[in-house]
């Protein structure tokens, strides 16, 4: 009997003491391109939705994934200059009646998908994003490009915002990634 209690207590302590890691978003590739229209960001991410997020999505809760981007230029005499600071949100939802997933990029693209994997492909490899017009950046200067993607819980319905504070399933983001860009 004592062995049984000891084994149960050990299992319970392991569950409590070893933290469960929330699934994270990993930035697989990022590049900035100079085009005739301006500067476009091309990215790709790798991630899988955890069970809690998939369940909420299928039950009709839209998920908002936001990408934040900052371009800064170092200055020796003062703080770094922020040349561009912008964000873009992709809304992912599920329509129970049509059994289709819906992905919408803020103010642009809206598409329906028959499977979750197809809808997630838009999140994993979003269209090249025009972040600034031509001439916004100074030619020959080196800019630090920082970006991240995260589940934006501030855009969730209020009851889910409260739940998101206490539930690790709703903490879903990438770390800030930085690379250099020199416009020609």
Cβ–Cβ < 8 Å for 157, 93:
no
Using one digit for the tens of pLDDT, what is the confidence trace for 26-50?
999 999 999 999 999 999 999 999 9
Q: pLDDT at position 169, please?
A: 76
- Cβ atoms of 183 and 139 within 8 Å: the answer is yes
pLDDT for res 99:
92
Query: Could you tell me the two tokens for 13?
Result: 């302590």
Nearest-angstrom CA–CA distance, 122 and 124: 6
Residue 72 and residue 176 in contact, taking contact as beta carbons nearer than 8 Å: no
| Residue 7 pLDDT | 38
CB burial of 130-148 (b: ≥16 within 10 Å; e: otherwise) equals ebbeeeebeeeeebebbbb
Q: 153: left (phi > 0), else alpha (psi -120 to 50), else beta?
A: alpha
Q: Which residues of the chain have pLDDT under 50?
A: 1-23
167 neighbors 20 (Cβ within 8 angstroms): no
Pairing of strands 110-113, 26-34: unpaired
> What is the pLDDT, as a whole number, of residue 3?
44
Question: Under a CB-based contact definition with an 8 Å cutoff, are residues 93 and 112 in contact?
Answer: no
Q: What's the confidence (pLDDT) of residue 143?
A: 93
Q: Which pLDDT score, from 0 to 100, does residue 2 have?
A: 45
Supply the pLDDT for residue 158: 80
| Cα-only R_g, the chain | 21
Contacting residues for 119 by C-beta, under 8 A, at least 6 apart? 92, 101, 102, 103, 113
Q: In this structure, what DSSP letter does residue 78 have?
A: S
> What is residue 6's three-state secondary structure?
helix
């Amino acid at each position: 009997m004592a062995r049984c209690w000891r084994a149960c207590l050990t299992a319970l302590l392991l569950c409590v003491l070893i933290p469960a890691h929330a699934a994270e978003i990993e930035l697989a590739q990022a590049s900035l391109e100079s085009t005739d229209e301006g500067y476009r960001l091309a990215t790709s991410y790798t991630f899988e939705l955890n069970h809690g997020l998939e369940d909420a999505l299928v039950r009709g809760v839209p998920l908002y994934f936001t990408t934040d981007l900052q371009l800064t230029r170092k200055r020796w005499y003062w703080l770094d200059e922020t040349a561009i600071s912008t964000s873009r949100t992709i809304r992912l939802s599920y329509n129970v009646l049509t059994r289709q997933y819906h992905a919408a990029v803020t103010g642009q693209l809206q598409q329906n998908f028959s499977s979750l994997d197809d809808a997630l492909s838009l999140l994993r490899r979003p269209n090249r994003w025009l972040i600034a017009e031509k001439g916004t950046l100074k030619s020959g200067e080196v800019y630090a490009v920082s970006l991240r993607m995260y589940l934006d819980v501030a855009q969730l319905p209020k009851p889910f915002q409260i739940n998101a504070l206490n539930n690790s399933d709703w903490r879903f983001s990438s770390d800030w990634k930085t690379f250099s860009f020199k416009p020609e």
